[in-house]
Amino acid sequence: MWLSAPRHIQIWNEDVSKIQWAPAAPGSRRALNFDVYLPAFPTVRFNAQNQENFVAAFATTFPDAEWSILHVVESSRGVTVRTQAVFSANPNADWLPPARLVYAMLRTGTCAQALQPGVWALSSVQQVVFPYLISSGSSQNYYVPGTMVHGLNINLLLKAHDMDWLTLPRAFDLVVPLQAMSETIASNVWKHTYVMPNLPARVVATIQTASFSARALAEINSQIKDNSAEIWPVSVWGATTILPGAQVIMLGGIQIPVFGGEDSNLVQCDEVDAADYPYTGEPIQANFCGQAMYGIYVGYRLVGFAPLAAMSGLSAVSNGITYK
């Protein structure tokens, strides 16, 4: 999820994969995770074989992702399994179709599409996380300093309401309190059905607020945990609870821009992976966009490329960052 302007944007979209996501560095892949509550499988029953069967069921249903169990919350009343899907397709585009299929299942409130009820009984979807990046090696270093976007994901159960009640205007109102919190830049809302044994179906709002600062998001998470009843008062929203599993995740960032053109008439014509151009103490020259380009440094950090003739008076803007 990355939205460049204005400062606070709320998106309501039944198809979570249509949100505009931050660019992914080379070596990264998109992933998602969610919790599944299995009331028919207490800890003693959810043995190694059933864990293997659990992963295999998702892999068979959604073969375009690598599936794994991140951890299991044990209970005699049924385990809760944090399940992760890592998409093998291009993290800037091609991951969207397989992600769309997974979210369509999660929206129903159960994983019955993958976990056959005749075998697994109820498979209740609990917290859900918006897609995030996982890195191979040190790919976070590929981003321009200060441009890495992080997201805080929380899941708010509206105990008194169902899916139909949580309309677009109410979704906007739901994230209003987050707009005033320090260093946030955008918020997204998604919803899914909450299905539990012997209870009517209710609605969970999956809320993500983004920031360039993971520290700021951790502080916001603490505020929400301590003051959720004040942020979303009972008089407006009915009884609510924050589902376990709030997470601060990596969403993306800006890579190294290449500025082409003549003199002061520069425009970004490409972007590259900084890891391919390590600092050596010597000027870096490369050919991009039909021109000879030289590296632009802030301290010892490569932040862009531009023609040598333009260096003395260079002032260029890329993704809201000005280089001079």
Q: What is the pLDDT of residues 57-79, one digit of tens each?
A: 999 999 999 999 999 999 999 99
1 inside domain: no
Asked if the model's pLDDT at residue 255 lies above 90, the reply is no
The H or E element spanning position 179 is helix 168-179
Do 261 and 124 share a structural domain?
A: no
Query: Average pLDDT, stretch 107-129?
Result: 97
Tell me which residue range forms the domain holding 156. Answer: 10-252
The pLDDT value recorded for residue 20 is 44
Query: Average pLDDT, stretch 205-218?
Result: 88
Do 158 and 60 share a structural domain?
A: yes
Do 262 and 197 share a structural domain?
A: no
C-alpha–C-alpha distance, residues 184 and 7, integer Å? 8
**Other Cβ atoms within 10 Å of 174 Cβ, number:** 23
The per-residue pLDDT of the chain, averaged, comes to 81
User: By C-alpha distance, which of 83, 88, 98, 75 is closest to 33?
Assistant: 83
Do 101 and 50 share a structural domain?
A: yes
Query: Average pLDDT, stretch 251-261?
Result: 72
157 inside domain: yes
The pLDDT value recorded for residue 179 is 77
C-alpha–C-alpha distance, residues 38 and 140, integer Å? 36
Asked if the model's pLDDT at residue 168 lies above 60, the reply is yes
Query: Average pLDDT, stretch 258-281?
Result: 70
**Other Cβ atoms within 10 Å of 69 Cβ, number:** 17
Asked if the model's pLDDT at residue 39 lies above 50, the reply is yes
Place of tokens 């969970």: 204
4 inside domain: no
Give the number of domains in the chain: 2
Q: How confident is the model at residue 185 (pLDDT cuts 50, 70, 90)?
A: confident
Do 170 and 32 share a structural domain?
A: yes
